[in-house]
Amino acid sequence: MFVNTSKSYKPTFSGVSLLSIILFGVVSCGQAEQAKRVAPAPAVSVYELKVNEIGSYREFVARSVASKEVDLRARVEGELIERPFEEGSVVEKDQVLLKIDPAAYQASLDSAKADLNSKVAGADGAARDLKRGKEVAGEGYISQSDLDKLITNDSQAKAAVKVAKSTLDKAQLNLSYTVIKAPFSGRIGKVNYNVGTVISPTSNTIATLTATNPMYVSFQVEESDYVSYLQSHKNTQKPEDLSIDISLRLPNNTTYSEKGLLTFADTKIDEGMGTVELRAKFDNPNGIIVPGLFVTLIMEGKNKESMALVPQVAVQENQQGKFVLVVNADNKVSQRLVKLGRRMNAMWVVESGIKANERVIIEGLQKVRTGVEVKPISKIVDPLTGTISDLLGK
């Protein structure tokens, strides 16, 4: 009898499925382990916080003012014949700026000199006549009336000499006014009259000369702060003895290189604003500060304390406040809430939350999250511009 045994060799569906699942699980686990081993930690740029000496601080809106400024005007009438300078250029003290035609004033001077010589000669003759008259008057050769006339003539001749001298002085002065010189070194502005124009004392300003070094910066302080300032500095005799540093932030957000010196405080309070005007002086050898510039004046106490600075690019903000991403010694990322003080160019002063020598992420922020491991690459940050660059020699 024939028996069909093929059934014993046919695998069941359940057996095949189970085998496939086992094999798939083994392969998947292997791939996952391989992926875990292959995936590298994301690279990020980090900045190690440095410490700076920071003092008490306050900012004021201020405006630059020329330390000297003069409007050049004609003091005599005449034709403008020379202008030996370029508008907007720097001129030196006593440099010739403008010349008015001197012909008429030279003629007046020559006439005054001739007249003075004539008056001096007349006075000398009157003096000799009086001397002879006095000699013979005692002998009765001339009457008292004639002697009195000689005395009068001598007095009038002397007076005429004085008038002639005054006329000569005026003529010399008028001639000197035909040459206009710079009363101090500074920058000359636009000239309002061309060569060939007849100008006079009634004409408008010819040009304006402005002293550019040093420059003043004027700002307003509330009356309460000013009184507190007077109380705390009542024993200070000289401005340079004040325990404050004065600096400027220019309109392009750069810090001016020269330090200032407080030189002036107004003698009264502005009743409408409740403020007092103060003024600081800044050396300006390169002419960077020009009159009328809106700037930020910064006062910082000389008594300083060590505080860390964090780059602005590292700071983020959410509903809880400002925070940074910190990379610890194990290269793990953590989020840290921070309290920041004042801004110093491209940096923030850290009041709490992080400290010096800790590393914060400045590039690659979008690639990481709290708890992940990263590959930190140390960078440096220009505190003035915020430019990120590699460490020197790396």
pLDDT in tens, 348-359: 889 899 988 899
Q: What angle do CA 145, 149, 154 make, to 5 degrees?
A: 150
pLDDT at 312 > cutoff 60: yes
Rg (CA), the chain: 45
What confidence score (pLDDT) does residue 7 get?
47
What value does the mean pLDDT take over residues 23-27? 51
What confidence score (pLDDT) does residue 13 get?
46
Choose among 338, 334, 330: nearest CA to 312: 338
What value does the mean pLDDT take over residues 337-352? 87
pLDDT at 376 > cutoff 80: yes
When pLDDT is cut at 50, 70 and 90, the band that residue 1 belongs to is very low
pLDDT at 225 > cutoff 80: no
What confidence score (pLDDT) does residue 9 get?
47
Kindly list the domain boundaries of the chain, sorted by start residue.
Answer: 43-57+306-390, 60-67+212-304, 74-100+178-204, 102-177
Q: Are 208 and 71 in contact (CB under 8 A)?
A: yes
Percent over 70 (pLDDT), the chain: 86
pLDDT at 286 > cutoff 60: yes
Strands 316-318 and 275-282: unpaired
pLDDT tens digits for range 238-269? 555 566 788 899 998 888 989 988 887 777 77
What is the Cα–Cα distance from 132 to 42, expressed in whole angstroms? 120
What confidence score (pLDDT) does residue 6 get?
47
Tokens for 171, please give them: 């003529």
What confidence score (pLDDT) does residue 236 get?
56
pLDDT at 110 > cutoff 90: yes
- Longest CA span, the chain: 204
DSSP category for residue 367: G
Residues 6+ apart with CB under 8 A from 342: 57, 59, 348, 349
Is 43-57+306-390 a CATH 1.10.3720.10 domain? no
> Residue 228 is inside which H or E element, if any?
helix 223-232
Of 18-32, 119-133, 169-183, 270-284, minimum mean pLDDT range: 18-32
Residues 6+ apart with CB under 8 A from 351: 307, 339, 340, 341
What is the Cα–Cα distance from 349 to 57, expressed in whole angstroms? 11
Q: DSSP labels for 126-160?
A: HHHHHHHHHHHHTTTSS-HHHHHHHHHHHHHHHHH
pLDDT at 306 > cutoff 70: yes
Average pLDDT, the chain: 83
What confidence score (pLDDT) does residue 176 get?
94
What is the Cα–Cα distance from 260 to 215, expressed in whole angstroms? 10
Percent over 90 (pLDDT), the chain: 44
Q: How many residues does the chain have?
A: 394
Which residue would you say has higher pLDDT here, 312 or 243? 312
Of 125-129, 230-234, 235-239, 311-315, where does the model show the most confidence? 311-315
* Equal CATH topology for 74-100+178-204 and 102-177: no
In 10 A of CB 109, how many CB atoms? Answer: 20
pLDDT at 394 > cutoff 80: no
pLDDT tens digits for range 153-207? 889 989 999 999 999 999 999 999 999 999 999 999 899 999 999 999 999 999 9
Please identify, in words, the CATH class of the domain defined by 74-100+178-204.
mainly beta
In 10 A of CB 241, how many CB atoms? Answer: 9
What is the Cα–Cα distance from 35 to 4, expressed in whole angstroms? 50
What confidence score (pLDDT) does residue 5 get?
47
Assign residue 231 a region: left if phi > 0, alpha if psi is -120 to 50, beta otherwise?
A: alpha
What confidence score (pLDDT) does residue 2 get?
43
Architecture of domain 102-177 in CATH? Orthogonal Bundle (1.10)
Is 60-67+212-304 a CATH 2.40.30.170 domain? yes
